[in-house]
Amino acid sequence: MGAYETALVILIGVHIVLAVSLNLISGLCGQVSLGHAAFFGIGAYTTAVLSKLGFAIWVTLPASMTFAGICGAIVGFCSLRVRDDFLAIATMAAGFLFLGIVRTSEALGGELGLSRIPDAGFGDGFVYFVIVCTALVVGFCVYIKRSWLGYAFSAVGADEIASRSIGINSADFKLTAFGIGTALAGVAGCLYAYFLGTVDPQSFGFPVSIMILAMVVIGGMGSIGGSVLAAVLLTLLPEWLRFVSSYKLLVFGGLLFVMMRFLPRGIAPCLRLDAWRLRTGRAA
C-alpha cells in the first residue's frame, strides 16, 4: 500500500468513527448535535499534549476518550432543558467555545496549534492499528444498538414524552448517549493527531461538524452500516472530484443536494427497501 492509499485509509477510518459515534447521539437518541467536531478536537489536543509530555498511545488513547466523554456529558447535562433547534444551537455554542479556548491558549499553540507530535510507535503499521480501532468502534456501536440501551435510545429519539410514560428516564439516556458518543469522537481525535503529527483549530471548526452530521443523515439516521457507507463515500468523493478542482465544492454540494432529493431517508433505508421489493417480487 502506497503512502497516498495509506493516508486515505486512515482518513476513512477516522471519519467512520466520527460518523458512527454521532449516530448514537443524533441517529438513535434523536439529539441533534452541531458541535461534534469539538469533541473530536478535544481528543486530538489531549493526545497532542500528553504525547509531547512523553506518554505512549496506550495512555493517550484512553485519556483522550475519557476527557472527551466527560466534556460531552457536561454539555449534555447543560442541554437537558432544551430540544430540537435550541439543542442544535447549544451544541454549536459548545463547538465555538472549544475553538475560542484553543485559539486563545498559548499552552495549546493558539492559532498555529501544536506540531511535532511524536509518532505512535507503530511505524508503517499504524494504518492497521487504525483499522482495528475502527472495527472495534463500529462493532461496539452495533452492539449498543442491538442492546436494551440501544432500544432505550431509540425510544427517547422517537418520542420522548411517550418514553417517559413507560418508565424510561430520558435525561439519563440522553446523558449516556452524549457521553458514549463524544468519548468515541475522542478516539477519532487521538488517531487523527498521530496521523497528521500536528493539530490546529481549523481542523475542528463548524464545517467539520456539519460534514460529520451529513454522513449520519446521508447514511440514514440510526443506521450504523449507513453511517459507515456514507463516511467512505464522503471521504472518497472529494478525491474523485480532483479533475474539476476549480469547481470541486460546487460539484460536491450539487451531488449532496441531488442525493438528499432522491434519497431523503438516507442510503441504508433505501437499500433495504429495494432489497425488500426485490425479495417480494421474486416471491410473487
pLDDT digit string (tens) for 15-74? 999 999 999 998 888 888 888 999 999 999 999 999 999 899 999 999 999 999 999 999
Q: What is the pLDDT of residue 31?
A: 86
Q: What is the CATH number of domain 3-205?
A: 1.10.3470.10
- The one-letter code for the residue type at 51 is S
Residue appearing with cell numbers 435510545:
153
Is residue 284 very low, low, confident or very high in pLDDT (cuts 50, 70, 90)?
Answer: very low
Is residue 7 very low, low, confident or very high in pLDDT (cuts 50, 70, 90)?
Answer: very high
Per-residue pLDDT reduced to its tens digit, 257-266: 777 777 777 7
Per-residue pLDDT reduced to its tens digit, 169-214: 888 888 999 999 999 999 999 999 999 999 999 889 888 998 898 8
**Where is average pLDDT lowest: 73-82, 206-215, 244-253?**
244-253
Instruction: Output the nine-digit C-alpha cell for 134.
Output: 475502527
Q: What is the pLDDT of residue 248?
A: 62
Q: Taking the domains of the chain in order of start, what are their residue ranges?
A: 3-205
| Cβ 183 vs Cβ 68: under 8 Å | yes
Q: What is the pLDDT of residue 245?
A: 61
Q: What is the pLDDT of residue 185?
A: 95
Percent of the chain with pLDDT over 90: 43
Average pLDDT, rounded, for the chain: 86
Per-residue pLDDT reduced to its tens digit, 140-158: 999 999 998 888 888 888 7
What is the pTM (predicted TM-score) of this model? 0.89
